Structures are given as structure tokens and as C-alpha cells.
Chains A and B, each alone.
Chain A
Amino acid sequence: MKLKSLLATLALTTALTLPGLAMARPVTLTTTLNTYGGDGAYLALYVTDASGAYVGSLWMAGDKSKYYEHLSDWYRATGGDTAQVNGITGASVGAGRTLEITLDLADALFDAGYTLHIDAAVEDMRDSPNEVAVPLTTAGAGTSVTGRRYIASFAYDM
């Protein structure tokens, strides 16, 4: 799944009151799931600041809002507000499949203490909030990390 020049940055930039939108770069987020033996996984990709406060969402894989409560950290942070993922929602991701998203992310998000989180949930299986939590740094780009339960590898590339 490839999405070019997505304006997902809007939510982030307004929250961060960045000086301008011009200073952004395309970032590719690649999430590969392991074969956990269940239905498609719901994934919420979002960012928190250095204090751990929710800043904004990057992507929501899974379009039935009634299941969002199982993405429990994201749900608690946003109150389940679907406006947070308007326009940045796609299908859930099947076991063993890869989700690849490309977005324009503000430069200011990098090397400034922000953390990218992924909450995951699968029907009739465990909820896995904070499945992945990686600091957003330029040095960390391209480094693959493993999730706690469902994510075989996650990496962001610039």
C-alpha cells in the first residue's frame, strides 16, 4: 500500500505548532506482520511527545470503528475520536502481510524526543497496545525493530 504526499502531517503540525509545512520529507513506514493465525490485524500508528502525551495519528489500518477500543492506548489517548484518523484509514492487515505507507512528515518530528507507537489488535486474540514504540531519530531510520506479538518487523525510511 503506497500513498504519496499524504497530508497526514496536518494533524501533527497543528498540534506541534511548527513554523511551517515546507520543512517536511517523505517517510516510508513498513510494517510486516508475523503469521499469528488469526483474522486481519487492526493497527494504529501514532506519535507521542517526550512527555508521553499523544500528538497525532499517522495511520489507522482497519475501518470498523467499533473495534477501535481494542487498540487500547490509542483509544485512551484519543477517546476513540475517529476524527483523528479521518482520511488516513485503510484496510486491516492480514497475518504475514506487509503494510507500507509513505507520508510527508515534518522535519521537526525527528531527533526531538518524539516516539512512534503502534497499537495492534486481532479479533478473538489478545490486544497488543504499544506493540511497537520507536523513537523518531534520523539515525534510527532504516533500523528494523520487532513488535511484541504481531509485528515481525517495523522500520521507517527517509
Chain B
Amino acid sequence: MIRALHRWPGLLALALVTVLSLSGAALSVFPAAERIAAPQAEAGMTVATLADRIQGTYPGVEQIRRAPSGRITAYWFDQGTPGAAVVDPATGQGAASADPNQTQRWLTNLHRSLFLGDGGRIAMAVGAAAMLVLALAGFLLVTRRVCGWRNWFTRLRGPLAGRLHVEIARIAVVGLVLSSTTALWMAASTFDLLPGGGVPAMPVEVSGETGFAPGQMLLLVETPVDELRELSFPYPGDATDVFTLKTDRGTGYLDQGTGALLAWTDLTGWERVSETIYMLHTGQGAATLGLVLGLMALGVPTMGVTGVVVWLAGRRGRPRIRGNQPAGRAETILLVGSEGGSTWGFAATLHAALTQAGQRVHTAPMSAFAPERYAAANRIIVLAATYGDGAAPASAKGFLDRLAAADRAPDAPMAVLGFGDRSFPAYCAFAKAVAAAAEAKGWPQLMAIDFIDRQSPQDFARWGRALGDAMGVDLELSHEPIRPATETLTLVSRRDHGAEVQAPSAILRFALPRAALWQRLVGAGFARFDAGDLIGILPEGSPLPRLYSLASARRDGFIEIVVKKHPGGLASGQFTALEPGDTVTAFLRRNPGFRPGRGRAPLILIGAGTGIGPLAGFVRGNARQRPVHLFFGMRHPDSDFFYGEELRVWQSEGRLTRLVTAVSRGTKPYYVQDALRGDAALVAQLIRDGARVMVCGGRDMAAGVADALAEILAPTGLTPAALKTEGRYVEDVY
């Protein structure tokens, strides 16, 4: 709901709010410029003195006005010719032209009415209303996203466009709310929707005399120039006319023959409110505030562009569910609780796989939960993301209420799969809440609750096999989070290894493809990647991409992978045969779960064979010289010691603290897990000190490493499983 309140006004009023904010930002400069340029009255100067001086210079003076900036303008008639000038209060002499600034006038008319009269004013008021709704809904969205307003300035994650959008918004929102609220007030006032102020009655009795000098009038002597707004002189020759004085406090009439105050009316409270609002909106009288508001308004066009980018990315991310069956006929019901759309992607994969396995499947948002309609259902599967600190994601709103309100739980057993990010404290909290509610309701369980950390396709495939077992079908879930847009990569160099040990391998380096501006903004494709991310390469003659871990980050300026030729392997055979200049078709898949993360905690990197790739990438990127201990298993140092030369250089540069190698080919095979055991005391100490363990390589090696670590950690009371829960032990296993 709130998201819709943010999205639609944003998209519909994008052009309007862009014009409003840009013209508003430009206009914000004028009050400050006027403040600087206008000659100011000296402190304590009175209106009487000012009137005296100006009348000395311009005997035909009719009116003196003081703008909130302190600029004083005099209007006079000299032998029937009208004149006007900005006056220096120190001398009473004209100092500058009083003609309105044409640029400012043009901008003002654009800003308030698009040069379209009342229709334009209404359009701009609608724009201001849209801005206000956007700002308030945006505030609620950010509050929810960062789990409460106390975390308003917390660090953000995710693609650049979304981050930029929120970074600007959380600073600019104050100004935008202020500017749009005051704009609506001013529009309402212009259209007479607000009560106006009173007017002092014109005095009936005047002395009938003329010629009392304004410099002698008591009220003018008592009124400092700082409070002056306007002083109007009587018509020459009209003895019934009066002096009219307007100040910050009110309006009064003075007799031109005696100087006596004839009538006075204070400003009403309502008028004061209106004037304050005018000041807050225009910056006239509050030039610095005006500049700040103008700067904040400048963020709007950027937020517009990034907002559209986020919206488009969200739309792209939500796939179409093909062959969705009616709820009443489906054997399997898939309920999806997704915020940004990525969980829908998993649902689509599961839907397709189940359909292929011969199932009739109905997929729907969790918010459409309707157990009475699931007449043919044999099982109900809930895929639930979590929003913020445990709230229901957008498409799951109301699910828990409906479940609680139901007479009884459905007969068909259910399974919950949670999607989340283990680095957040409320990991899969909503999925857990759903599972708990189901259990409390007595809903039979198909499978225990399980979790997918950071959209891991591996986790999902593992869960899919378990689901297949529970259903008695063979279920292989090969999930690609977003249908990849492929790019063509050109090989620039290759370094061969391993031929001598019957494991021909190569380090392949590709040139960075050119990134379009939108890609850089969204961080799409190869515009943004880190070591440890995955690259999918499509071999010729097979639609199935092969995934490799990247050994380089974008800032390294190239794309690097380590590939081993498998005997008879179609893809690896093609890739290891690439020569510089050859091209491949590839796409990027992020792997946020396999990152060294920030901080200074030591890293323990453990890899064997081509698994060295991402680990070498981490070391290469370790410019901040975080302590890094690399355990590297190979067959023979003369043959498959990938990055041997670089590792020595990186060590000398402080990027690598310690390198421990294990060689398996020899009289006595020595594996990387053996190397860990050999360093047990150090490894245990490092982990006690908060080290993060990252393992990359084959499944057997990973299992061996886990066993070794379990042994090493036994005396400390820690276990690999506990470390995994904390996110301090991550694997990239193939």
C-alpha cells in the first residue's frame, strides 16, 4: 500500500516535480543574492530618518518599501514622471534599478503556473501534493527498510540506484516536506480557500492640515527600519489623505498635518502564520534556509531517475508464471511472500520444475491465501521473504491474520521456505513466524522449515531435492535469480598450468565489456562485480551455462577465472582451448554470500585447485592490508601452483599475511586440511579472535576442511555449524 503510494505519484508526477524542484532550486538563489547585494540600513536607524533622507533626494516620493532582505525601494513622481530605485539607506540616494529581475520573474511564473494561468497553478499544486505524498510514503518505506527511524542514517546495501535514491531522500525529505506543505498552503491562499486578513478602517477624522515632516512623526521616530515594510505618503494636495505605515506588527495611519497616529491594527495571528509560511517557502527573509531548501530540491531529479530505475528493475525481476493452474484444481499450492520480487523468481523456478514433474500447480501471493479454495491440494508450499526486522513482505500482507482467523488449518500439509540475509539479525523472521503460526494452528507439516541465504541457488537446489524426496518425485531446481542478459567477452590472455599432472588448466583473462550508462547506474551486468561473484558462460552447443567463480573485481579492470579441463567435458574443453581474441557469451551472477565483508577481522582463506580463483581475487583486492591467511592445496608446485608469482608479490605488499601450501602429489600426499591441522593452534586462535573462514573448491575438499576445523575448534567450544550460523564460515563449493 505504502509502496504504491510512493510509486504511482512518483511516476505520474515525475515531470511536474522535476520542473518544480529545478525551478525552485534556481529561485532559491535570488533571496540570498538580494540579501548580499542590497545596501542595508545601519543598526538602530529609524523610519523617520529613512523617510527624511529619501524625501530629501526625491521630494515627490510616494512610497518606501522594505523587502525582507533589507532592500529598500523608493517610488516617486518627479514632474509627472514615475520613478523608482533601490535606495541606499545611508544616503537616501538611488543605488540600483528597481525593475523586477526578468529571469526571476520567468522562473517564478514557471514555478507556480507553468505560464498557464490558473490551470497551471492547479497543476503545480497537484505536483506539490504528489511531492508531499511521495515524501511521506518514502519516509515510511525507509523507516521500515532500516527497521525504525532510529536507524535513519544506517549504512545501505544493494544496487547503486536504490542506494542513491535513499541516500538523497533521507537528507532531502525534510526540505521536501516543508516546501511542498508550504506550497499547498500558498496555493490554497491564492485560490481564496483560506481566510484573509482584516483591514484597518480608514480614519474619518483628519486634521485637514498638511506639511508635517515625516521625520518628526513620533511613530516613525520610534519604528526601526528593520520593522518597516511599507510607508505610503499622502497625495500631494489632498488634505484628507494620510500617511500609511505597515510594519512587522501591523498597519497604521498618520495625520499629515499633525503627525498623530489616527488608527492602528495589529497583524492577526492568521496573517502571521501566512507570512511565516511565505517566508519558509520563498526564503525571502530567510535566505540561508532558502538556499538549503533549494539544495534539497536539487536532489529530486536524481531521485526521479533512480526511482524509475528501481521500479524498472523490480518489474524485470518479477517473472511471469507460465501455466498457472486455478486454485481449485491444483495439487500443489505455492504461496509467495516477496518484497522486491526476487522470491517470485524462485517461485517461478519451482513452479516450472513441479509442472515438469507432472504436477498441477497454483502460484499466488501469500496475501491471496484462501484455504477454502484449495479443494484438490495435496500440499501447500510457502516461500516467504522478510521485510525489515521481521515484518511481512509486500505480497504477504494479511496472511497471518487470515490464518489466525481461519476455523482450522488446511488438511494439506505445508512447508515453509524462508528467504533472507544471514547478516541481518532478523534472518527469515517472517518465515519463522509463519511456521510458528502454522504449528500453533495444528497445520500438518510436509517438511521442516528451511532457509535460503542471500538468494543462494545452491541452497535452493538442496531444498528442492529434499522436497522431491518428500513428494516422491525427482526435483532438480536450477534457479537463475534473474534471466541473465548475456554479453560478449573477449579473451585477452591465458596462462596454462597443470598439463604435467594430467589436469590441464588455465587462468583466463577477459577484457571488461563496455557498460552503458544505465548499467553503471543500476550496477547491472559487468558494471559492478567483485571477486567471488559468479560468471555464467554459455558453451557452444549447449544452452546450459557453466558457472565459474570470479578471481577479479571490476576495479581490477579485467574479468579473470580459473578453468580446469575435465576429461570429455564439453564446456571446459571449449574454454580451455580459447586463444586471445576469441570470444565467449557470458553473464554475471552475483554471489553476495561469498564475500570477505568489511572490517579488520582476519580472513582464513582455504582452497584447492581452481578454487584458488576467488581467494586470489580477495587477496589481490586487499589494499587495506587486512590480515589474510591463505591455505592452498595443489597437486604439484611446478605445475598447478596458480598465481604462485603474484602471491609472492602480494605477500611482499602486505596484501597476504601468510601462505601455507599443501601438495598432494608425492610420496606422502598432503592435503589442505592436513595443512590446517598442522597450524591448528594458530587457526583456533584466529577464529577465537573473530576471523572469518572462506572455503572454495571441490565438495570432498570442503567436507575434509569442515572435519578438520571441527577437530581444531573442539577445545574452544566452537563448531563449524555455529560459525556458519554467525556467517563467519562460508563456502563456495562445486
Contact = CB atoms under 8 A, between A and B. Distances in A.
Interface stretch (A16-24, A109-117, A123-131): A123-131
B199 A79 contact: yes
A39 interface: yes
Contacts of B117: 91
Contacts of A126: 62-63, 75, 82, 84, 98
Interface string B384-396: 0000000000000
A135 to B, nearest CB: 17
B82 A79 contact: no
B196 A37 contact: no
Contact of B63 (A65, A79, A124, A127): A127
Contacts of A123: 100
Interface in A60-91: 63-66, 69, 72, 75-77, 79-80, 91
Interface string B232-246: 100100001000100
B201 A148 contact: no
B192 A124 contact: no
A142 interface: no
A52 B199 CA distance: 21
Contact of A72 (B80, B99, B102, B232): B232
B61 to A, nearest CB: 11
A72 B75 CA distance: 15
Contacts of A79: 199, 201
Contacts of B98: 125-126
B105 interface: yes
A97 interface: no
Contact of A148 (B82, B99, B196): B82
Contacts of B190: 64, 66
Contact of A76 (B77, B105, B202): B202
B350 to A, nearest CB: 62
B91 interface: no
Contacts of B118: 63
B82 A39 contact: no
Given A66-B190, A75-B199, A91-B117, A37 B75 contact: no
B99 A37 contact: yes
B529 to A, nearest CB: 55
B109 interface: yes
A80 B235 contact: no
Contacts of A140: none
B716 interface: no
A39 B105 contact: yes
B394 to A, nearest CB: 44
B103 interface: no
23 contacts: A38-B100, A38-B105, A39-B105, A39-B109, A63-B118, A65-B196, A66-B189, A66-B196, A72-B244, A76-B202, A79-B199, A79-B201, A91-B117, A124-B100, A124-B105, A125-B84, A125-B98, A126-B63, A126-B84, A127-B75, A148-B77, A148-B80, A149-B82
Given A37-B100, A65-B196, 11 more contacts: A39-B105, A66-B189, A72-B244, A76-B199, A80-B196, A91-B117, A124-B100, A125-B84, A125-B99, A126-B82, A126-B84
